Structure 1
């Protein structure tokens, strides 16, 4: 028998919850300052603060997003990003990251081990190599050659969670688990998320970054959307930028962030662009999305930001050029299936 969750998704968009008020954030009108930086999830507020400090010090948009992303990467209590991230099923913490500017310069690393600040290694790939992506041992060797320090990324807390998971080794991604502990639902694999961060500097240049330790207890070698330009992140001059969070395999299937920016190019406001791409994903995947969370966050060149999600629970942090930060809760395609 189909579950209530399956029936909600199987019924398509007609089964969605009533339309919620638009979460478009026109920070310049509401707070007296234009948007400086936005990032995914509540924990993005600390990242935004670092990004805003970089902007105030004269940094570029790339400086801003790197500074912000590094805050999440260095936080051992954040089990979906950087140091303290949950390992793969074999006990290895592997990191993925991408960084991009509005000139089409991009750098990324995948399955990077032993280096906390994957976003900084990605920036080095962008600025110091002819490539856009390095992976695995090659990414680690490059980082070492560039002078990055190495350390064991597996914290005692993350190792304990992994060893507890090994008792059953059941794997089922859980929606919005970046804000919860996977152990609260036996058999689930939590903290399958990331931080995506978008910024504009004082000169009006755009930049973005996305960094993650990936799905908890993933198969070794798995890479999701986060480090893929066009999936986890996209930045386009004259249009805007977008980033994604949630189940990366679903984001990749619709070239998520690029699709959001293309919708903005066609005239959609950020919140509507995010919603349109999610609707496309629902039409494509139907009941295969049951229990999956996917969310997009976008910022356009007019200073509007907006987010939308498949399921309720997605939040994002908005900081203006006065240093004022607020947390927004995005609307969703479907109601809470619980």
Structure 2
């Protein structure tokens, strides 16, 4: 049987050598059981433990002749896994990509998407037809087993890989972003990681000192201070993300909070921030923007039961030179509700 160490070593052997790769390959197997209180991996493993407790109960109740009244609400609670997967996909996986470690993340991202899709279909079905839940025993069992298997893969491959590669500052950034995204399946406040809190305080102070708070940004229609501009952007209620001419994520304002936008993603290639199956479409869209075959695209989607518009616009300077791509994401629930009055 292939051991955890053999699996990890096979991944390292397929990577281009670098200082980080050599350091990771030379490390002994990471100890997942004795991480400091508040470490992000402790939080992710605690989420998995709580989720597996729920899954074991649901697997048992799914075989009852008549599931209890609590069965359906418990099934719907599984949607909390979306928050757990967001931390994997928006924080851990892009950071692994920086080290050239793509294989495990690509496979997991596809499986995560399969789980989320099936969970979404069943959730919608049970909301519309709660009395027919018994007809879906097989699909429920398959979903639960798939989710359970994914927690084992995280423990076996993803978490050890991250511990081999990430340095302290990167873990502190993961800690900060994970708090922003939130927790799944757990009650109470997340554990505090004191070294990371000290790092966050230092980062905030450096940012405060370096900001030109009263410096003005001049436009054709006037000028705004940095402080004024920041305050205005926070009132828009739309997620704004800017990708520069080199296809790197350089800025986001996440007040709409439709999609997770961790700070650790800043400076990443936009292609590392998307599931592998979506990357070809992203590349084509940006190529079209560069070639001026089109200058915008709008996608309408239902996300977590909410109507959302996602608008992509090419950004050009006065001379028509391509500067990058901006994405606007907006939850349209209140807009639709207003027009239905």
TM-score normalised by L of structure 2: 0.24
TM-score normalised by L of structure 1: 0.24
Greater RCO, 1 or 2 (C-alpha within 8 Å, sep 6+): 1
| Structure with the bigger percentage of strand | 1
Bigger radius of gyration, 1 or 2?
Answer: 2
